[in-house]
Structure 1
Amino acid sequence: MKIDSFVSVIIASENNPFDYAKLKELAENLSETYADYEILIVNSGPFIASNKKFDNEISHLLANVPAIRYIQMGNSSSLDQLFSIGLENAIGDFIILFNINHDPISAIDELVKLSKSGYDVVVGTTKPSNTMAYSVISSLARRILHKIDYYLPKNSTTLRCLSRRAVNSVTSTGKFYHQLFMRIQKTGYPFTTYSYERTGEVKNKDIFIGFNEFIKLLVFNSFRPLRCMSVLGFIGSVCSFAFAIYSLVSHMVRGHVVEGWTTTILFMSFLFMVQFIMLAFFGEYIARLLRERNNTADYAVVFEKNSSIMLDADRVNVLEQSFNDKKNLVQTGRDR
């Protein structure tokens, strides 16, 4: 007997070719397990209307794989934003953030079972395949990020399972497309981890990309770095004042002073370094404020298309009984 839960699987695509075999396998697996499901593909822009090959690929996909909802973005979007758009448009009781290239299809059923047992958020984790240098730097960065309440599980991936109330909480709290996975973790609902092995060839993370993500996590999720820069600037100003007093006293006591030129240059260089670090952080926060005060839409959808294959033409939107024998501790809309 199929499980009476509506499952939405969100796939974020950054203009990559569609893996028809994997998508068809995914649809068949969901059809065998769940009474209702959908596969929501959100593709990044920019969309070029004259690209007939791409249009034919979409038509072939929708004609051969059932339960597909395809959303084409008009502008280039980050992975966080693509998943966020999927969360806004998904209608399932349980929503899976899925990487079609690296996440196993068998994990979906396990994620839903864990969520039903009382966890509104299930986070996928896997064994790292990073270089030694990246692992050392990542460990140091995590210690710093813990100071701003960054508590994502170690070695977490983009694989997630969210209950309906967790999705509602994420989409109703501010600019949720900024560091989506951090906002998911801060919903306050119970969460657990799910360990699995990734499929396909996984590239090692680049140190420079990791550093960029580290800065974004600091800036977009806490005001503590700004306060640290303010404290650093205050300490620098105190040191500068003390050095000025020292120079004045030395001149009055010793008269002609030649020594200390190197020290002065080094100290001035240090102060300039502090000032430029502060300016860099101020620039990041000003950019954040400008983006949040922008009145334009968060994203633009070019079009949305659906599969031409029906799941079950005879199925009606009526439950056979008014209660469900199977417990669902996260209380989705059907069994409150």
Structure 2
Amino acid sequence: MKFISIVVPIYNEAENVLHFAAAVKEVMENSHYKWELLFIDDGSRDNSVQIIRDLQRWEPQVKLIMLARNYGHQIALTCGLDSAQGDAVITMDGDMQHPPALIPVLLEKWEEGCKVVQTIRKDTEGVSWLKKETSRLYYRFINAMSTVEVYSGGSDFRLLDREAVEALRQYREHDRFLRGMVSSLGFKRAEVPFVAPPRFAGKSKYNLGKMLKLATDGVVGFSVIPLRWAFYMGLVFALLSFLLLCHALWEYAQHQVVPGWTTIMVAMSMFGGIQLVIMGIIGEYVGRIFTEVKNRPLYFVKHNMDCDNDEETHTKCG
């Protein structure tokens, strides 16, 4: 009998855990698979962990790994993928916006021979027009610059065959964009469209800062085109500055020099701003090189509730 791992990162999801676990259990008990529900606690500050521990008393399929601190959604997913033992691994969020009812569809595609089954979010109930439009533009932007196609509407709700999981485990960069990393694997894939319902309870933990960081990770992690843009911008503005110099010399030769405080300030501001932008782009890449060469572990596990003992264990993963 094939074994399915369902990996769910959580951060302050006490209001959602029981409802989500019940929905998954209902789906999986009607299937012919053995299964585990692996929660990865990403440093929750509410009572999410206690609820899961109580749940484990009567649900042996439920397992819990507690990270030592809040590492972020992508690292928590990575920890789950590192720990899952299933023949296929399904990653999803625990707020019910990734409907457990779709799990049989993912498994069906997997049984047909697809190594990666990616859900595509066609719409999200209750989300503003502005957020939808910025998301659409972002995916167009990243695909215009990257050699790896990242599907618009792609989410972290997907199924990975064991072979794909083992391949993905070899990616150990710290600033992770799993949607791009999965797309870069190249395995046979299928897509499952869905409409994301509203959260069952609580508020999204993905604030604007986290969304911008994820977007930056996607662009910088899969493209060097911003560096080329910086070079091209430098060439363009070098040409403009040369033309401005020629204009100044011509005016001087014609004895029509007028005190040009405004022109000087505009030119200085423009070129200074461009230089700062270029330095910022270069700095972003240099900073990531600095992070990677230190080769620190991606995360530390504080406690693994799959262990036979109930003592806290600290494990690192590089």
Which TM-score band (shorter chain)? 0.7 to 0.9
Residues 1:210 and 1:301: Cα distance change in structure 2 (over 3 Å): closer
Partner of residue 112, structure 2: 117
Task: Return the offset for 1:100.
Answer: 2.5
Q: Which has the higher relative contact order, 1 or 2, with Cα contacts under 8 A spaced 6 or more apart?
A: 1
Q: Name the CA distance, whole Å, in 1 between partners of 2:29 and 2:174.
A: 31
Gap runs ≥5 in structure 1: 309-336
Partner of residue 236, structure 1: 237
Overall identity of the aligned pairs, in %: 20
Task: Return the offset for 1:92.
Answer: 0.7
CA RMSD of aligned residues (A): 2.7
Greater C-alpha Rg: 1
Name the count of aligned residue pairs.
300
Q: Contact 1:153 / 1:193 at 8 angstroms: preserved in 2?
A: no
Task: Return the offset for 1:206.
Answer: 6.9
Task: Return the offset for 1:287.
Answer: 1.7
Partner of residue 185, structure 1: 183
Q: Contact 1:42 / 1:85 at 8 angstroms: preserved in 2?
A: yes
Q: Contact 1:98 / 1:158 at 8 angstroms: preserved in 2?
A: yes
Report 1:136-151 matches (<5 A): 136-147=133-144, 148-151=146-149
Task: Return the offset for 1:87.
Answer: 0.6
Q: Name the CA distance, whole Å, in 2 between partners of 1:217 and 1:188.
A: 17
Task: Return the offset for 1:185.
Answer: 0.9
Q: Name the CA distance, whole Å, in 2 between partners of 1:171 and 1:273.
A: 41
Which one of 112, 122, 127 corresponds to residue 127 of structure 1? 122
Partner of residue 42, structure 1: 40
Q: Contact 1:7 / 1:34 at 8 angstroms: preserved in 2?
A: no
Residues 1:135 and 1:107: Cα distance change in structure 2 (over 3 Å): closer
Gap runs ≥5 in structure 2: 309-318
Partner of residue 331, structure 1: none
Partner of residue 153, structure 1: 151
Q: Contact 2:11 / 2:44 at 8 angstroms: preserved in 1?
A: no
Q: Name the CA distance, whole Å, in 2 between partners of 1:196 and 1:54.
A: 27
Q: Name the CA distance, whole Å, in 2 between partners of 1:77 and 1:300.
A: 9
TM-score scaled by structure 2? Answer: 0.84
Partner of residue 312, structure 1: none
Q: Contact 1:123 / 1:160 at 8 angstroms: preserved in 2?
A: yes
TM-score scaled by structure 1? Answer: 0.79
Of 210-219 and 111-120, the range deviating more from structure 2? 210-219
State the Cα deviation string for residues 281-309 of structure 1 (Å, max 9, x = none). Answer: 1221122111111232110001101399x
Q: Contact 2:120 / 2:191 at 8 angstroms: preserved in 1?
A: yes
